[in-house]
Amino acid sequence: MIEVFDVAATRRALARRLLRCPGCGGRLRPWGRARPRTVRDSDGGDLVVRPDRARCTACQATHVVFDAALLPRRAYTVRVIGQALVGAARGQGHRPIAAQLAVPEGTVRSWLRRARRSAHRLWTIGVQAIVALDADALPTREQPNTLAYAVEALVAAAVAGRDRLGSPDADLWCQITVLTRGQLLAPAPAD
């Protein structure tokens, strides 16, 4: 899986064999498209997306190219999921969050459970990114739970990244998706 900000530019780069395999560094080539899927965005509208696929010319692994607003296997954009995580970080339960976002309770509960399980890993990713960008931006406030520390660190890292890039309109949760390589709700990798 490869998370990118600009799907069209990535498609052009892929066609020119300019992208590298995240696994082995070999050159990637276009490998068709994934099946279409429908994803709900934070404005309540549905997006139909059909991600590009790429195959490594060296190790033959295939990778799906995701727009940074999307997470693998999730039917909502990261803008919706991010709002749920912010709510949980503030101490809200899954039921009021689900009602606010018009998402089924079971779906929100599953997001929060996964994010809590990954909270320490997510916090580490956020802190490492902040240190690399601007150590002065490291959060120092006490937080009520581990997920709150993780969300705070990821948001601070995204803000520091946005300042560095000079792109004030960049969507914070899309940046966080790229920073966490699409693993916001995934279990920690084995290696």
Q: Which residues make up the interface to Zn ion (CB under 5 A)?
A: 21, 23-24, 26, 56, 58-59, 61
Nearest approach in angstroms of CB 54 to Zn ion is: 10
**Least distance in angstroms from the C-beta of 20 to Zn ion:** 8
Q: Map residue 89 onto helix, strand or coil.
A: helix
The nearest distance, CB 14 to Zn ion, in angstroms, is 14
Q: How many residues does the chain have?
A: 191
Strands in 52-56's sheet, in edge-to-edge order, are 2-4, 62-67, 52-56, 28-33
Give the residue with the Cβ less far from Zn ion, 168 or 189.
Answer: 189
Q: How far is the CB of 18 from Zn ion (least distance, A)?
A: 15
Please identify, using beta-carbon distances, which residue of 15 and 59 lies nearer to Zn ion: 59
Please say whether the beta carbons of 81 and 184 come within 8 A: yes
User: By C-beta, is 23 or 32 nearer to Zn ion?
Assistant: 23
Nearer to Zn ion, 26 or 30 (CB): 26
Among residues 171, 169, 174, 148, the alpha carbon closest in space to that of 78 is found at 174
Structure tokens at 82: 């991010």
Closest residue by Cα to residue 46 from 38, 34, 54: 38
